[in-house]
């Protein structure tokens, strides 16, 4: 959500933003409704003022006839007012709906483009492995080394179900524990947030209403969050923070639930795309400064890069183009790991900043040095998801005999330097 005053003063900018994002949004319609809303509001205000003057008089008048005259007048006014108020109410509803549709303004550095094929590679890091044997894919490697059981996963859970077991489970724990220690160096406070979250908070992050189909729900009408971003943003909802406590750096570990509605044909084998997985997520809140947001966005991204580098996994960094950038975001980077069996990079992490777009909805403010309350800025980015990280590790670290070398950084957490064979 953007500030209506900002929108009014920067109509061209908002229009260009919608165009760049390929969002169908009619700024003129919003301006029309906004004008109407303000006009009605003024009229209603004036009528209320007139109406509110009468009770004061009534309480002072003792004469019964004069009193009745005033009461009659008030009743007439009331009917008139009621009509206007109804109009104002429906206009306000229209206004609110349109306001929810206003896209955030993408940063200048966001490249133009229609969809993900127009995302731009910014850099690559690391050495892609060259195998002088028939390299296997992760499904094969995990099966033969007993890291996962897909058959029973399917039996018990259903489509996209899986069990991680043995060294596969061990490796997962190793990643979680290693990531926790690694990120604590960057001043993060660790969290284990709830994954069952009240529906209202999904609107704040922008996951509702657009992604309703992709969310699981409980019989009590809560939803299962697909990312810790939601409970962690909701954490400070309706609060006023101390400026001296900013920035907040949170590292949240949580299960993530995604129905993957609409992607039934994609990645149907293995653990690349699953309904239930674990993820460590970075979330930051900072003062309302574009420069600070940019700075911390780079920081979040670099944190994950350093982590991937420490695992010696080859990756690329992409900047998300306008057409692929979500409505709520100012700018986004994706980090993608090299997947040998597919001979391409696949998404492992995504980092974004939002200015006050989310915090306006969550009502998270801070008091600045002049005592004025302002909305904080929010940012988030993946630290590391499992089991997707496992996919890259087993494929990139596979050996000719079908075994898997454990990345050096994980060995002390895993208790072994080699899995299988």
Partner RNA sequence: GGAGGGGUGGCAGAGUCUGGUUUAUUGCGCGGCACUCGAAAUGCCGUGUCCCCUUCGGGACCGUGGGUUCAAAUCCCACCCCCUCCGCCA
Identify any residues that bridge with 353 across adjacent strands, giving them in sequence order: 331, 379
Q: Which stretch binds RNA (CB under 7 A): 22-30, 54-62, 116-124, 227-235?
A: 54-62
Query: What is the number of residues in the chain?
Result: 421
In the complex, least distance from residue 167 CB atom to RNA, rounded to whole angstroms: 27
Name the catalytic one among 332, 350, 352, 378: 350
Active site residue 180: no
385 and 278 Cβ atoms separated by less than 8 Å: yes
Cross-sheet strand order for the sheet of 364-367 = 239-242, 364-367, 373-375
In the complex, least distance from residue 291 CB atom to RNA, rounded to whole angstroms: 23
Among 23, 31, 54, 99, binds RNA (CB under 7 A): 54
Residue ranges in 76-115 that form contacts with RNA under rule CB under 7 A: 78, 89
Name the catalytic one among 229, 318, 388, 395: 388
Among 5, 12, 63, 401, binds RNA (CB under 7 A): 5
Name the catalytic one among 198, 273, 346, 411: 273
Identify any residues that bridge with 224 across adjacent strands, giving them in sequence order: 196, 216
Residue 24's CB is within 10 A of a number of other CB atoms, namely 7
Three-state SS string over 100-149 comes to: HHCCCCCCCCCCCCCCHHHCEEEEEECCCCCCCCCCCCHHHHHHHCCCEE
In the complex, least distance from residue 83 CB atom to RNA, rounded to whole angstroms: 12
Looking at residue 343, what DSSP letter applies?
T
Size of the site for RNA (CB under 7 A): 31
Is 117 one of the binding residues for RNA (CB under 7 A)? no
In the complex, least distance from residue 42 CB atom to RNA, rounded to whole angstroms: 4
Site string for RNA, 240-259 (x = CB under 7 A): x-------------------
SS3 category, 5: helix
Cβ proximity to RNA: between 10 and 341 the closer is: 10
Active site residue 350: yes
In the complex, least distance from residue 55 CB atom to RNA, rounded to whole angstroms: 3
Residue ranges in 367-396 that form contacts with RNA under rule CB under 7 A: 367, 369-373
Is 36 one of the binding residues for RNA (CB under 7 A)? no
Please, is 241 exposed, middle or buried when counting C-beta atoms within 10 Å of its C-beta (0-12, 13-18, 19+)? middle
SS3 category, 210: coil
Active site residue 347: yes
CA-to-CA separations, 230 to 272, 339, 358, 360, in angstroms, rounded: 22, 29, 11, 15
Name the catalytic one among 258, 318, 332, 395: 258
232 and 172 Cβ atoms separated by less than 8 Å: no
| φ and ψ of 371, to 5 deg | 85, 5
Measured CA to CA, the distance from residue 121 to residue 321 in angstroms comes to 10
Q: Which stretch binds RNA (CB under 7 A): 101-109, 261-269, 333-341, 366-374?
A: 366-374
**Active site (catalytic) residues:** 258, 273, 347, 350, 388
Q: Which residues bind RNA (CB under 7 A)?
A: 3-5, 38, 41-42, 44-46, 48-49, 51-52, 54-56, 58-59, 71, 74-75, 78, 89, 198, 240, 367, 369-373
């Amino acid at each position: 959500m953007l500030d209506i005053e900002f929108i009014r003063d920067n109509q061209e900018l908002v229009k260009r933003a919608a165009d760049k994002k390929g969002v169908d949004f009619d700024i003129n319609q919003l301006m029309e409704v906004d004008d109407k809303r303000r006009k009605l509001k003024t009229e209603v205000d004036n009528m209320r003022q007139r109406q509110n003057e009468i009770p004061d008089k009534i309480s002072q008048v003792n004469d019964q006839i004069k009193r009745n005259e005033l009461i009659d007048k008030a009743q007439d006014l009331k009917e008139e007012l009621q009509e206007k108020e109804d109009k104002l109410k429906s206009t306000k509803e229209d206004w609110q709906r349109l306001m929810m549709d206003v896209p955030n303004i993408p940063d200048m550095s966001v490249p133009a483009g229609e969809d993900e094929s127009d995302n731009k590679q910014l850099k690559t890091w690391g050495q892609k492995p060259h195998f002088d044997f028939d390299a296997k894919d992760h499904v094969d490697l995990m099966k033969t080394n007993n890291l996962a059981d897909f058959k029973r996963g399917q039996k018990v859970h259903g489509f996209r179900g899986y069990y991680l077991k043995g060294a596969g489970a061990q490796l997962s724990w190793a990643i979680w524990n290693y990531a926790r220690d690694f990120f604590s160096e960057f001043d993060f406070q660790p969290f284990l947030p709830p994954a069952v979250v009240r529906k209202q908070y999904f609107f704040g992050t922008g996951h509702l209403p657009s992604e309703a189909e992709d969310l699981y729900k409980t019989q009590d009408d809560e939803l299962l969050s697909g990312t810790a971003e939601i409970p962690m943003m909701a954490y400070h909802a309706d609060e006023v923070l101390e400026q001296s406590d900013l920035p907040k750096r949170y590292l949240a570990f949580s299960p993530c639930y995604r129905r993957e509605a609409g992607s039934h044909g994609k990645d149907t084998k293995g653990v690349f795309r699953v309904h239930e997985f674990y993820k460590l997520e970075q979330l930051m809140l900072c003062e309302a400064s574009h420069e600070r947001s940019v700075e911390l966005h780079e920081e979040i991204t670099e944190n994950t890069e350093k982590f991937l580098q420490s695992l010696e996994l080859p990756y690329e960094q992409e900047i998300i183009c306008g057409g692929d950038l979500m409505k709520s975001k100012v700018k986004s980077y994706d980090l993608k790991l090299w997947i040998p069996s597919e001979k391409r990079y696949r998404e492992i992490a995504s980092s974004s900043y939002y200015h006050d777009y989310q915090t306006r909805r969550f009502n998270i403010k801070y008091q600045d040095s002049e005592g004025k309350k302002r909305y904080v800025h929010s940012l988030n980015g993946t630290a590391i998801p499992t089991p997707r990280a496992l996919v890259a590790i087993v494929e990139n670290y596979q050996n000719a005999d079908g075994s898997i070398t454990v990345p050096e950084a994980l060995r002390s957490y895993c208790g072994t330097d080699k899995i299988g064979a």
